[in-house]
Amino acid sequence: MQITDKMAVSIHYTLTNDQGEVLDSSIGNEALSYLHGMGNIITGLEQALLNKVVGDKFKVRIEPEDGYGAFDESKVQVLARELFSGVDAIEPGMQFHADLGEGHSVITVINVEGDEITVDANHPLAGEALIFDVEVMAIRPASAEEIAHGHIHGEGGHHH
């Protein structure tokens, strides 16, 4: 059985950046399970998994445009302190949920100067090349319910 659209796929993976630092890994935890062809995982990884079979091991380098996008300077914005009403002490590194006009996103405070708060709404991995070491653990056809929901259920999947 090969990985194609509407297959429920389980993989183990280790994600490193260009500097070889491990950013994330499923090793030692439950395998990651996802529904193929539905955008559950980043485009570049989904493309690399197409037609793979159980037991396949591979390494893939994914450029930012197929990962979390290029770093977008326009997502770095200076906001007025009054927008943070209810927050006593605003410090670099703090994260907030916000809507900066492009839908809901997580913003990170990167600088505080008086009443001017500089925030970054880029994904933390925006602009980074991602290197995935992957092993395909399991493949099965997704159920009609899973396909309707756009994600898989059960072990390693969403809970309802």
Q: Taking a C-beta distance cutoff of 8 angstroms, is the pair 129, 42 a contact?
A: no
Residue nearest to Zn ion (CB): 149
Which listed range, 11-19, 82-90, 103-111, 143-151, lies at the site for Zn ion (CB under 5 A)?
Answer: 143-151
Residues 6+ apart with CB under 8 A from 35: 6, 7, 8, 9, 142, 146, 147, 150, 151, 152
Nearer residue to Zn ion within complex by CB, 10 or 122 = 10
* Min CB(142)–Zn ion separation in Å: 11
The reply on whether position 149 binds Zn ion by CB under 5 A is yes
Amino acid at position 49, single letter = L
Q: What is the largest CA-CA distance in the chain?
A: 60
The reply on whether position 147 binds Zn ion by CB under 5 A is no
Which listed range, 12-20, 61-69, 80-88, 148-156, lies at the site for Zn ion (CB under 5 A)?
Answer: 148-156
Write out the residues near Zn ion by the rule CB under 5 A.
149, 160
